[in-house]
Every structure is written in C-alpha cells, then in structure tokens.
Structure 1
Amino acid sequence: MFGFKRKNLSTLALVGVLACSATLVTHSALAADLKIGLSADVSSLDPHYLNIAPNVAFSSHIFDALVNVDANGKLVPGLATSWRAVDATTWEFKLRRGVKFHDGSDFTADDVIFSLDRPAKLTNSPGPFTAYTKQIVAKKIVDPYTVRLTTAAPYGPLTLDMSAVFIVSKKVAEKASTDDFNSGKALIGTGPYKFTSFKRGDRIEVARNEHYWGGKSDWDKVTFRIITNSAPRLAALLSGDVDAIEGVPTADLSRLKNNAKFSFAQKISWRTIFWELDQSAGPSRYVTDKAGKPLPKNPLADVRVRQAISKAINRQALVERTMEGLAVPASNIVSPGVFGYNDALKVEAYDPEGAKKLLAQAGYPNGFALTIHGPNDRYINDEQVVQTVAQFLNRIGIQTKVETLPLSVYFAKARAGEFSVSLLGWGTLAGDFGLRTLVGTPNAETGWGSWNWGKYSNPAVDKLIASSLASVDQGKREAFAKDAAALALKDYAVVPLHHQYATWALRKGLKYTARTDEFTFAHQFHPE
C-alpha cells in the first residue's frame, strides 16, 4: 500500500455524517436558488486573463463565445448562429440578432472584434488566451451581424478556437482593467446570469438573466461555494449547505451511491493528467546529486532519463489505488474519443528494472535527487498522485521529494519555469489543438507552446502539427495529428499518467448531464 495521507473524512466520521443525513433539510424541486460546491478556486473573473478551467467555467455563466460546446464535446451555435469557410484562409460568422448585454446594450460585430483583439493586450497574463487568436491576421465587419476572420495560412480548427474566447462589451471593457472585472464593475456579458458578488476564495453569487437569448435558467439565484478541500465539500452536500458538488471524493463515492438521498452524473473527461519535465540543457533548479549539490547538466534533457521516469510509474496501481478507480491509464496526451487520439500508442509498461538500466545508460547508475511539484487543490487526488509517483521514482534510485502548492500559487510558478518536474492536467477537443499548446515550440508571436512548461522543441513535431492545423480534409488532418502525437511521445515530450473521470453528486430532485469537458454549468442543472 502507498503511504500517502488522505484529505477525505475518516471512515468513522463519514459514517456518522451519513447516518445523520436523514435530518437533511428538505429542498423543494421547485427551489428558486441553487448552491454548488466547486472543487477549485476561481482566481480571476476577467474572461481573458488566465486560461484555466475553473475560470473558464465560471466565465461561461456571465459571457458567451461565438461557438459553444455541448456535453459531448461537439460544436454548436453560440453568439454565432452559423459559420462557413469562404476560402482556404477566410471564415465567415453570422451573428445572432437581438442579443442584449446585461446593461441593455446591443451585441454587435464591434464587440466581437474588440474581444478577439483584447487577449493580446493583456501582456501580464500568466495563462494567455492568445493561442486562440494569434492565427487571425485580419478581421472584417461585413455588416453589424457578419464578421470575417482571415488567417495567414489555411487553418482548420478556427471554429474550435472561437469556442474559447468570450465576447465582452466593447463599451464597458475598452477602458476596464482586470481589477475592474474582478470587482464586478466590468462583468457585463450576454450570458445566462448577471454578476452579484464575489468573495475571493469563498463564494461567487449570480442572478438569472431574464432576457438571456438561450432561454431562462431554472434558478433565480446561484451561489458557487469554493470548497477546494474534499472533506468539507462532501460535508456541505451531506448537511444540505449545497445542492450539488463537483469533484466527488473518490474514497466516499461508493458510500454515497448507497444513499438514496443523492444521485450522480459521471463521464470520462477530456482531461489527461501528465508530467511536464524541464528539458533545458543547463542545470535544472530542482535536480541535484544525492548530497544536494547542483548537477552541471540537466538529466531530464536526456530522453533516456525521461523514458526511465515513465517506466518507473505503475499506472494501473495508480489508477486502482490512488485514484480509486476514477481514471484510466493514459498513453496519449488527449483522451479516448477526442479528435486525434492515437489508438496505436500503448500505455507504458511498468518496468522498474528497465528504468534503472536506462538511467545507467544515461550516466546515472546511482540515480540523482529530484523535487517534483504539483497542485494540491485542482485535480482529483492531485497531492496523493504526486506522492505516489515520488515513491515509484525512489524505487529506481531517483531520490524524490514532493512539494505541492495551492493552484493560485502553483500555476504562476510553473509557467515561469521555476520547477523541474510539474504536474499538469489538460483537456482539449482536438489533438492538434492541444499539441500546439503543450508540445509545440514556444513562440510568443504565434501563441504556440503557451503551456509547454518543459520547453520541449522538435521541428518535425511542429511540422506535423502545422500540417494538421492547415488541413481542411478531416481525415488527413487527424492523420497528421496522430503522427505528431506519436513522435512527441516517442521523445517523452511529456509523461502521460491517466485520464480522469468527472463526477458530480446531487441532492435528490436535481439532474445534471455529465460533460466531457468537466465544466459545471448552473444553467444545465434542472429540477427532476
């Protein structure tokens, strides 16, 4: 058994809470208010500031994009009712008429152009949205409800990009700062809810937009409770303080399933959990000899060392024990079913002896010392995952320490290149889309590699990704994407761990359609 500490309630305490659950406050199926327990902090309300899932999920309540994504990851109309390729480099979007911003002003093409320009102006963004806008070299307003976007070269997934950029009000946002969004002053969108209040690290409250173009929500008011620790989040559900939670604690799922007062929504998600490894040639900050002395060169820059790390990890044990069955071992950067998933890639076999031989071949027969980093409040059992992998690495002679941090601190440091080995979870609806961001050679001008923490670079991989992105033939495009993934993973550009399941627990009387993208949308909860 692995010696990690659980963050869940003790078994006795949980049994006690479950026994008392008969005294839960009874909710009417027609309740006007909805309270949701979120598993990750919302660090910014500016929809263009930090491209991480908790922020994007919340922004979807206040703002809309041109293109929306349904529960199965398919593109559907949003603020654009239709789109078409005018030619190989030009896309035309027809905008929805009659849409109003929360302040009553009309939504027009001017707001679209402004919103597509804004991400590049946020030069202090720790997680920019520019990967979705850099391909656009020209924007044209044909009329107030038609825009044309031109790319420098043929670019297949532009419509997917447009699902990731929220449309803000030009009138409100052109003089607004990120602080104005965080205060609520600039939170004027076209989405299903209007902003009410934000208490950082605690809760966000929104009210129903009575004039939403997509139809009224069932809820007059929604409170998002930010409860990053699993035990109190579960306790909030059991006590009736919240009506639903995301990120159900794995150890408690089976017990909850036996309680008739709750129901579940579950689906394998788009999210792959993997390791980013610093591949720079010089010394790496958290790699030393076993006495703590910095090494003159970085072992992680050697593909044999990266392969050894991969072989050292028993993914099946990780999934069964640490993840308690709420994941499947990963062989790809993208999840099964996602465009570009390569079935020919197989999960790395657990081979500690082979890993030791690879370390010896690379010149490290006695291993070295390493500190690995991860968040402790973002992914399912993230801290335990880091601890478990550290134990695997210790067994092959890599003396491994663990440091985990809150998401709000962790991402900024990881993106700044401060760590040698760092845990990342990424979800995407297209393989080439994700490869461009995660393993493409970093380039601030093109937006490639914006989440390539390890600074991996392979011109052959870049060429395949570019060929995929430029293909209008979907069959050829996917073939290029699969080849790019195979080559990048042959290099161990990243080390995949698992694809996690997304699980929601709800009080009786509620229903929710589980989403591939893991997002929790209040307007998609309904009374039964």
Structure 2
Amino acid sequence: MVQLASGTQFGAHWVRVLALVLGLWTLVGTTQAAALKIGLAAEVTTVDPHFFNTGPNNAFLHHVFDSLVDVDADGRLISGLAESWVAVDATTWEFRLRKGVKFHDGSELSAEDVLFSLARPAQLTNSPGSYTSYTKPIVASQAVDRYTVRLRTATPYGPLPLDLSSIFIVSKKAVEKTGTEQFNAGPAAIGTGPFRLVAFHKGERIELARHEAYWGVRPEWDTVHFRVLASDAPRLSALLAGDVDLIEAVPTADLARLKTNPRVSVTTRTTWRTLFWHLDQFRDRSPYVTDLAGKPLDRNPLKDVRVRRAISKAINRQALVERSLEGRAVAASNINAPGIFGYNSEIAVEAYDPAGAKKLLAEAGYPEGFGLTLHGPNNRYINDAQVVQTVAQLLNRVGIRAKVETLPLSVYFGKARASEYSMALLGWGSLASDFTLRSIVGTPDADRGWGTWNWGRYSNPAVDALVQSALESVSPEQREDFARQAAKLALDDVAVIPSHHQLASWGLRKGLKYDGRVDEFTYAHEVRSVK
C-alpha cells in the first residue's frame, strides 16, 4: 500500500490524481445507459407485424411499429401516425398523417407506406392468424398527397378507425428491399415506434434500443431486454433475484406475499378480458345434457330462456371472485368490461338467488333438475379449472347435477369452436361492445364474419339488426347507443352468462412505476422510474 503524505508535494500530486479518477468514475456512473429488463409471460412468435395476430405478438410489436390510430391505457382512441381523421361521407374516411415522422432507418413516413401496410395482410396467405378482419371492409384506398390517405368501404362502417389501431405501418422500401422473411432477422423490421429492433431470439429473448428520432414522447430507457419466462415460478424468481425489473401476470398464489415485499411493488387493474358461459341453444339434443339417471334428454333445456336464467341466478359471482379467484376479478354484468366502448351500465350483475333459480327450473318443467357437464380450459385464464369446479358446485345446489371436464387450451378451443360442448367457458377482450356482440352472439355467418366465437349458436334477428346499425354508424354517439341496446337485448335473453372481469397484475422492482393497461399489454415506453 502506498501512503500519501498530505502536505508534501508528492502527496498533494496523488491526491489530485485520485480526485480526478473519482470524478471520472462519477461521470461514467451518471451517464450509464438506462436499461429495462422485462419478464414476459408468453412467447413472441414473430416480428412480422402482419403475420400472426396474437395478444403477446401485438403487445411487443407496439414497441417497434406504430398504427394510424392508437389506443390509450384506458382503451380510448387517440391519434397515432394519423394526427386526425374524418368521415368524408358514409363510406369514405380520410386520415391526415403527421409530417416529419422518421422510420428507424431515417427515411420519412409517407402515404405510400400506409397503403402498402394496409394491403399487406391479405398478401400473407400462409398466416396462422390473419389481420385481414381489420382490413377487409376497405374496398378502395388512395394517397391524396404525401400526407393524406382516403379509404373507402363498400357500406357505411363506423369502427374503421378502431380497426386500424390493429394494423401496424411498415416501411415499404425496407420490406421490398429485404423481403418478408427478413423481419425476424431485423433488416425488414423498420418501423416508426419508440424502439428499434436489435436482436430477436425466438422463445428466449428480444433486445431493443431507443429510437432517438421518435416522433412521440421520448422513452426513458436506452435499451430494453425482454426475456420469455412463460412459467410462473421462474418468472417470479427472476424478479425477486433482480434478474428482471418487471414481470407481467404475477402468479395469483404469490400476489399477497409480493405486496408485502419492500423490494418490489405490484400494479393491478381491471382489464378488458371478460369471462362468460356459452350455452348450447341450437340442438334439440345436446351432447352433455342428461336426465338424472345419466340418459340423454330428447329435449334440450338450454334452449329455454328460463333455464338459462336459472343457471345465471345459481352462480354466486361475489363468492366466486373472493374464493376461487382470490380477489383477482370483479363480478360481470356485461360481456365487456366497464369503460369499454358500448358498455351498458344499466345492466346489473345477476343477483345470487338459488330459490329463484329452483322456481324457474320448475316453471320450465325441470322441478328435479337434470344432468349437465361443464367444460373449460385448465391453463388459459386465472384459476380457470377452479372457476369451472365452483360453478358446478353451485349448480348442484339448485338441482342441476353438474359434472366437470377441463382440458388444456390446445385441445379445449378446437372442440369448443366446433360446438362440441353443452356449457363452455370463454374469455374475451375487445375495445368495443359491438365488435364483441358480432363475434360472440351474432348469428353465425362465415361470409359476413359474424358469430365466429358463437359456440352456443345463439341467434336473434333483433340483436343482429342493432349490432349492424352500430357498425354502420359513423357517429360515435349513435354507434354506442345501438351497441348498448344490443347488449341489453342479448343479455335479457341470456344469450350468454357473464361471470367476471379479470384483473391483470404486474410486479416491479422498487423505484419503477407502471400504471397498467386495460388491454393487459406491457409497454416499456410507459414504464418510468420514481424516487
């Protein structure tokens, strides 16, 4: 060890040198790049923004790409790459682009990039989950000038701006130069979003760097590192060990413990995902409905609105939320969450009324009840298998001898979409009630794209007419009024049985804040540091 004698020329020299070194260290520390590490609950399968329409993909893609219209954390439409839009007439929409928006390669966004991006989903014929449902209403498109786009629909279609919030805008030049297959590799992944792609390792990790010329609010983070941690235990362990700064989908069983940990914080909010029950309403003999001896019934009781209402009254939603869901949900009255466009606040949560349920069953001709098997997934929603089991127990209390069969999602959805079940659980999230009604209770029609998730094949021409009126309304006020009317009519008829709205949760290291989003997405550019 060298001892410095302050007061001597030699000692003073080394004191000055040491001070200079310490000052440099301090300077390096203050200019160190700000990095954010996020643990994802599901895999991102592609960086191609028009190839596979899934929630995890879309949540990530918002970091690299922008859309014409955006959606804020509460599910409200806000401007994106289009600073404004207007319905010129009943079938023509005009979008005015922001000027000076830069792609990651420095080129400027133009109307040609927009038209190219809107046409591209239909060209990807091998897509496992297409985005064409959002672009299908468009029958003609035109670049009026460099910063103005006009889109025409065959019939009046009010939700087009909302549809376009799901279509990401890519660089025409980059895609044509590199080819579609170069998105995951990086060269084609040129967007205008807050971050640019650095590396994509499918199923493992993704690395981003801040887009310094981003047109919007500057992100706090120089770099973002995503790790795919699909299993609950490793994801939570990574947060507690400091390997990641934020995780999504905090495991339910660990939520209470995590809230008491001084090194982390938890954000929770009600999301758009609503769980409800589909009931077989199209077959005279339903496959999982029997008499009390287990023999198939010749008459399907689920086609009787009194039986459907009895089942709804038999479900104690508050107990379900508190016990089976451990407080991670709120009881539902609608098939969209509160705050979502078209939500009808005049519809009340069905009160738990077992006596009323028994009375309705007797009026329908089933005073002793009947047999019914409930189906649901066991790996998709919060405590989903437990939810199915609890509802079965509640139905048994009113005379419906209920059995339970839960299956992995990979098996369950295929069977449910083929209408193989009599009573089946589904979770659904949407930013507009008329969209949900069209898919969930609209009379199935493949050509129109209606009833694509209508497992019970409910059909009511009056509901269809109101939904159609909503979709054709270019006035937001008229559209929402029609949607609310349609929701009330469908739920008065017990088209489906709403159960609960899920809560989403995020775990963060101390010193970070994330308010959460109604769409359950995790956005690095909305995470910020706090003192």
**Residue of structure 2 equivalent to 1:442:** 444
| Deviation, structure 1 residue 28 | 10
Aligned pair partner of 2:88 in 76, 80, 86: 86
Could you say which residue in structure 1 is the equivalent of 2:264? Answer: 262
Q: Is the contact made by 1:173 and 1:186 (CA closer than 8 Å) also made in structure 2?
A: yes
2:74 and 2:339 in contact (8 A); partners too: no
Q: Which amino acid aligns with 2:408?
A: L
Q: CA 1:228–1:475 in 2, change beyond 3 Å: closer, same or farther?
A: same
Contact 1:29 1:509 in 2 (8 A): no
How much does 1:274 deviate? 1.7
Change (3 A) 1:275 1:37: farther
Secondary structure of 2:390's counterpart equals helix
Secondary structure, aligned partner of 1:248: coil
Match of 2:511 in 1: 509
Q: Structure 1 residue 309: deviation in Å?
A: 3.0
Larger radius of gyration: 2
- The DSSP-based 3-state class of the residue aligned with 1:450 is coil
Distance between the aligned counterparts of 1:30 and 1:318, measured in 2?
49
Instruction: Select 2:460's aligned residue among 458, 461, 480.
Output: 458
- Residue 148 of structure 1 aligns with which residue? 150
Structure 1 contact 49–178 (Cα < 8 Å) conserved: no
Residues 101/418 of structure 1: CA separation in 2 closer, same or farther (3 Å cut): farther
Q: 1:128, 1:450 within 8 Å by CA — same for their partners in 2?
A: no
- Consecutive unaligned residues of structure 2, counting only runs of 5 or more, are 1-28
Corresponding position of 2:321: 319
Give matches, 1:119-130, under 5 Å: 119-122=121-124, 127-130=129-132
Q: Is the 8 A contact 2:393 2:402 kept in 1?
A: no
* Structure 1 SS opposite 2:339: coil
Matched residue of 2:506: which SS? strand
The 5-angstrom pairing of residues 305-384 of structure 1 reads: 305-359=307-361, 365-374=368-377, 376-377=379-380, 379-384=381-386
Cα deviation, residue 297, structure 1: 6.5
Q: 2: distance between equivalents of 1:295 and 1:258?
A: 53
- In the alignment, what sits opposite 2:73? 71
Q: Residues 112 and 185 of structure 1: is their aligned pair in 2 closer, same or farther, counting only changes over 3 Å? A: same
Cα shift readout 1:151-205 (whole Å, capped 9, x = no counterpart) = 2333333222221222234455579998765666754432223334445444433
The alignment covers a number of residue pairs equal to 500
Structure 1 unmatched runs, 5+: 1-26
Distance 1:187 1:422 in 2: 40
Give TM-score, length-normalised by structure 2.
Answer: 0.82
Could you say if the C-alpha distance between residues 195 and 325 of structure 1 is closer, same or farther in structure 2, counting changes exceeding 3 Å? same
Residues 129-170 of structure 1: CA distance to partner in whole angstroms, max 9, x if unpaired? 344223323212112321111223333332222212222344
Cα contact 1:277–1:420 (8 A) shared by 2 = yes
Partner of 1:277: 279
* Aligned equivalent of 2:255, options 243, 253, 260: 253
Alpha-carbon distance between aligned partners in 2 of 1:71 and 1:123, rounded to the nearest angstrom: 32
Question: Of residues 408, 433, 436 in structure 2, which corresponds to 1:405?
Answer: 408
Aligned counterparts of 1:390 and 1:521: Cα–Cα separation in 2: 38
Whether 1:190 aligns to 2:188 is no
- Distance, in Å, in 2 between the alignment partners of 1:423 and 1:227 is 26
Q: Name the structure 1 match of 2:21.
A: none
Judge which range, 408-417 or 37-46, deviates more: 408-417
Contact 1:32–1:220 (8 Å) recurs in 2? yes
CA change 1:124–1:413 in 2 (3 A) is farther
* C-alpha displacement of 1:257: 2.5
Report the residue type matching 1:328 in the other structure.
Answer: V
Q: Is the 8 A contact 1:390 1:402 kept in 2?
A: no
Aligned counterparts of 2:458 and 2:187: Cα–Cα separation in 1: 40
Partner Cα separation in structure 1 for residue 364 and residue 228 of structure 2 = 46
The alpha-carbon deviation at position 92 of structure 1 amounts to 0.6
The Cα shift of 1:93 comes to 0.5
Residue 115 of structure 2: SS of its match in structure 1?
helix
Match of 2:232 among 223, 230, 233: 230
| CA positional deviation for 1:235 | 2.2
- Give the equivalent residue in structure 1 for 2:11: none
Q: Distance in 2 between matches of 1:363 and 1:199?
A: 60
Aligned letter for 2:158? G
Q: 1:270 to 1:409 in 2, by over 3 A?
A: same
When structure 1 is superposed on structure 2, of 484-493 and 38-47 the one drifting more is: 38-47
Determine which of 93, 105, 114 is the counterpart of 2:116.
114
* TM-score computed with the length of structure 1 as normaliser: 0.83
Aligned pair in 2 of structure 1 residues 304, 518: CA closer, same or farther (>3 Å)? same
Verify the 8 A CA contact 2:46 2:202 in the aligned structure 1.
no
Contact 1:372 1:390 in 2 (8 A): no
State the structure with bigger RCO (CA 8 A, min sep 6), 1 or 2.
Answer: 1
Deviates most, 184-193 or 145-154? 184-193
Distance 1:126 1:492 in 2: 33
Where 2:346 maps in the other structure, the secondary structure is coil
Aligned to 1:37: 39
User: Against the structure 1 CA distance between its residues 100 and 238, is the aligned structure 2 distance closer, same or farther, given a 3 Å change threshold?
Assistant: same
Residue pair 2:292, 2:369 contacting (<8 A) in 1 also = no
Q: Distance in 1 between matches of 2:124 and 2:85?
A: 28
Q: CA RMSD in A?
A: 3.3
For 1:239, the aligned partner's letter is: A
Q: Per-residue deviation at 1:59?
A: 1.8
Q: Determine whether 1:494 maps to 2:499.
A: no
Sort the Cα spacing of 1:393 and 1:156 in 2 relative to 1 into closer, same or farther, 3 A.
same
Q: CA deviation at 1:388?
A: 2.5
Distance 1:218 1:50 in 2: 29
Answer yes or no: is the 8 Å Cα contact 1:279–1:300 preserved in 2: yes
Alpha-carbon separation, structure 2, partners of 1:117 and 1:436 = 24
**Is the contact made by 2:103 and 2:192 (CA closer than 8 Å) also made in structure 1?**
yes
Whole-angstrom distance in 2 between the partners of 1:207 and 1:289: 62
Confirm or deny: 8 A CA contact 1:247 1:380 kept in the other structure.
Answer: no
Check the 8 A contact 1:137/1:152 in 2, yes or no.
Answer: yes
